[in-house]
Amino acid sequence: DEVRQLGLEITPIEEVDASRLASIRSNTNLKMPDAVVLHQALKVNGSIATTDNKLARVAKAKGLGVFKP
């Protein structure tokens, strides 16, 4: 699979994630798509790639790796 060759992991959003997503959204003021990216990375202790400064700042504060192209 080409995605896996890039070292990327696709993770599902599950029903149990809803309350944690709402919490991330309200505590960080990130837009929902960015909150989802952050949540999924936190779930797998991963890293994110983003050009969004706010998302990058919050992700770094939570100990995630951030790649800014």
Give CA–CA dist 33/57, Å, rounded: 16
The pTM (predicted TM-score) of the whole model is 0.86
Give CA–CA dist 13/11, Å, rounded: 7
Packing angle between helix 53-61 and helix 32-43, nearest 10 degrees?
Answer: 30
Q: Provide the pLDDT confidence category of residue 51 given band limits of 50, 70 and 90.
A: very high
∠ Cα 38 44 46 (to 5°): 65
What confidence tens digit (pLDDT) does each residue in 2-50 have? 777 887 878 899 999 999 999 999 999 999 999 999 999 999 999 999 9
